[in-house]
Amino acid sequence: MAVTVKYFASLRETLGRNEETIEFEDGMRLSRLWKKANDGEPMPESLMTAVNMEYVKGDVELADGDEVAFFPAVTGG
Amino acid sequence: MAVTVKYFASLRETLGRNEETIEFEDGMRLSRLWKKANDGEPMPESLMTAVNMEYVKGDVELADGDEVAFFPAVTGG
Amino acid sequence: MRIEIRKEVFEPYREVAAYQKILAITGKAGATCVFVGTMRDFNEGSSVRGMTLEHYPGMTEKHLHEIAAQAGERWRVLDCLILHRVGEIRIDDVIVLVAVWSAHRGDAMDACRYIIEDLKSRAPFWKKEQLDDGERWVESNTTGYSEE
Amino acid sequence: MRIEIRKEVFEPYREVAAYQKILAITGKAGATCVFVGTMRDFNEGSSVRGMTLEHYPGMTEKHLHEIAAQAGERWRVLDCLILHRVGEIRIDDVIVLVAVWSAHRGDAMDACRYIIEDLKSRAPFWKKEQLDDGERWVESNTTGYSEE
């Protein structure tokens, strides 16, 4: 199984990448995905998270093919 | 002494006049002005009143040369 | 600040764009809130064909200037434009335009709302509607919301 | 309803007037509320020269449609138009336009306010400002009011 992970704005610049594919076995949750993608670092609490372009709250379980996005506070308008 | 009296909208139509000059001695108040101008009828409570183009509340005293206006609830915009 | 009573039809968005061009607020006005009130073909359950808008020349302009000044005391306002029709109004004619420029959105939106609410409840204008079966003076403005 | 992300500069009042022409709401829309957000030359105490607006293609549009739908559930809305710039923004460029058409003013103004507040706090856009001495990501939007 695999998910696409996207990073935006200052987070994208800090991490130095904007998109990647992460493969995993069953039972992958958001916080573990972050750690797997970021050398075991815990997920910063201030980040906003979306799965399949919908905001999610909490440590939701992911499914094969999901598009996951991590980004800082939004500042549009 | 004299004041100019103006009537607007439905009130103007009901009374059949839009402007008149009322002469008086000293000490004329709004309610007495209305009666003098309207055959002794008491002033309807729902009317809005302005003196010199400023809203007034209560039975204010009038001065020579004042412009007094009586009109129903406003409905602009 | 520009406040005008208009006897002729006007195109509100052209007015806002044209007025903004003469304002020296480039880079300062982060927020503009515009309200446009338009003649509907229905009111209080009746079909309406048109209307006549009467005002109190002199006091109306004076009152609108006072409203605008009050809004400027309560919120940070860079400029404002108020245009209001009088005379014979047809369906879909613009009746009123209120535009407020501020640095920030809250100031612009609150001030615009304040001005239109005061204008509706206090500015000396009166509407007489032409219905299918005659005319009627509008007795009071509505709350501003659809009734379910 | 039209919701668009724009890479090019747009003239907001021309957009509102043009969009309104294609709406079949003649005589029904008594109230239109328009909010226009414009690039200021200052922010949080600094002089700003320009900025880059990033978004999340796909989710941004989806989220704006959801906001508009929510506004339509809470208030009586006839139609709405939301345009938002992305890419390189210069001083005085329009960043965002929100226009709401309703029968009555309260519905149009509340819905417009709701949409812009949600857009500011929830729609996935990010601003990076160019200052005199470098660049900075804007960390959060302001409350919408001038700070005394």
**pLDDT tens figures, D37-63:** 999 998 888 899 999 999 999 999 999
Q: How many residues does chain A have?
A: 77
Is the pLDDT at D146 greater than 90? The verdict is no
Give the pLDDT confidence score for residue A56 in this predicted structure: 97
CB contact under 8 A, B8 and C124: yes
**Beta pairing partners, C6:** C85
- At D130 the three-state DSSP class reads strand
Is the pLDDT at D22 greater than 60? The verdict is yes
Question: Mean pLDDT over residues C70-95, rounded?
Answer: 97
Please state the pTM of the whole predicted model.
Answer: 0.95
Q: How far apart are CA A53 and CA C119, in angstroms?
A: 43
pLDDT in tens, C103-147: 999 999 999 999 999 999 999 999 999 999 999 999 998 889 987
For chain A, the chains sharing at least 3 beta-carbon pairs closer than 8 angstroms are: D
For chain C, the chains sharing at least 3 beta-carbon pairs closer than 8 angstroms are: B, D
Residues sharing a CB contact under 8 Å with residue D135, sequence separation 6 or more, in sequence order: D128, D129
- At D52 the three-state DSSP class reads strand
Q: How far apart are CA D79 and CA D101, in angstroms?
A: 5
What is the predicted ipTM? Answer: 0.94
Cβ contact D136:D50 at 8 Å: no
pLDDT exceeding 70 applies to what percent of chain C?
99
Interface contact D104, partner C, CB < 8 A: yes
Question: Mean pLDDT over residues C12-17, rounded?
Answer: 98
CB-nearest partner of D29 from C16, C38, C75:
C38
Question: If we measure between CA atoms, which residue out of A75, C115, C84 comes closest to residue D105?
Answer: C115
End-to-end CA distance of chain A: 37
Question: Mean pLDDT over residues A67-72, rounded?
Answer: 98
Select the residue from D137, D141, D142, D143 to test the A interface by mutation, using most A Cβ atoms within 10 A.
D137
Give the pLDDT confidence score for residue D89 in this predicted structure: 98
Question: Mean pLDDT over residues D19-35, rounded?
Answer: 93
CB-nearest partner of A73 from D84, D116, D140:
D140
CA distances in angstroms from D138 to C121, D55, D94, D134, listed in the order given: 41, 14, 18, 13
pLDDT in tens, D94-110: 999 999 999 999 999 99
Please provide residue D21's backbone torsions phi and psi, each rounded to the nearest 5 degrees. -60, -30
Q: How far apart are CA A22 and CA D41, in angstroms?
A: 41
Interface contact B69, partner C, CB < 8 A: yes
The mean pLDDT value of chain D amounts to 95
CB contact under 8 A, D54 and A9: yes
Cβ contact A48:A71 at 8 Å: yes
Question: B64: burial class by Cβ within 10 Å (0-12, 13-18, 19+)?
Answer: exposed
Question: Mean pLDDT over residues C27-46, rounded?
Answer: 93
CB contact under 8 A, C141 and B75: yes
Is the pLDDT at C148 greater than 60? The verdict is no
* CB contacts, 8 Å: D141 with chain A: 74-77
Is the model more confident about D143 or about C58?
A: C58
Give the pLDDT confidence score for residue D148 in this predicted structure: 54
Q: For residue D6, what pLDDT band results from cuts at 50, 70 and 90?
A: very high
The mean pLDDT value of chain B amounts to 96
Residue in chain C closest to D120 (alpha carbons) equals: C105
* CB contacts, 8 Å: D62 with chain A: 53-54
Give the pLDDT confidence score for residue B31 in this predicted structure: 94
For chains B and A, tell me whether 3 or more CB atom pairs sit within 8 A of each other: no
Q: For residue B54, give how far its alpha carbon lies from the nearest alpha carbon of chain C (Å).
A: 7
CA distances in angstroms from D86 to C22, D12, D99, listed in the order given: 27, 15, 19
Residue in chain D closest to C111 (alpha carbons) equals: D145
Is the pLDDT at D116 greater than 80? The verdict is yes
Question: D40: burial class by Cβ within 10 Å (0-12, 13-18, 19+)?
Answer: buried
Q: For residue A13, give how far its alpha carbon lies from the nearest alpha carbon of chain D (Å).
A: 10
Q: How far apart are CA D28 and CA C26, in angstroms?
A: 36
pLDDT in tens, B5-49: 999 999 999 999 999 999 998 889 999 999 999 999 999 989 999
Q: For residue A13, what pLDDT band results from cuts at 50, 70 and 90?
A: very high
CA distances in angstroms from D36 to C72, D98, D132, listed in the order given: 19, 7, 26
Question: D56: burial class by Cβ within 10 Å (0-12, 13-18, 19+)?
Answer: buried
Give the pLDDT confidence score for residue D45 in this predicted structure: 85
CB contact under 8 A, D40 and C30: yes
CB contact under 8 A, D124 and A50: yes
Give the pLDDT confidence score for residue D104 in this predicted structure: 96
Residue in chain D closest to A18 (alpha carbons) equals: D56
Q: How many residues does chain C have?
A: 148
- Residue C131 half-sphere exposure toward CB, CA atoms < 13 A: 12
**DSSP-assigned letter for residue C58:** T
pLDDT exceeding 70 applies to what percent of chain B?
100
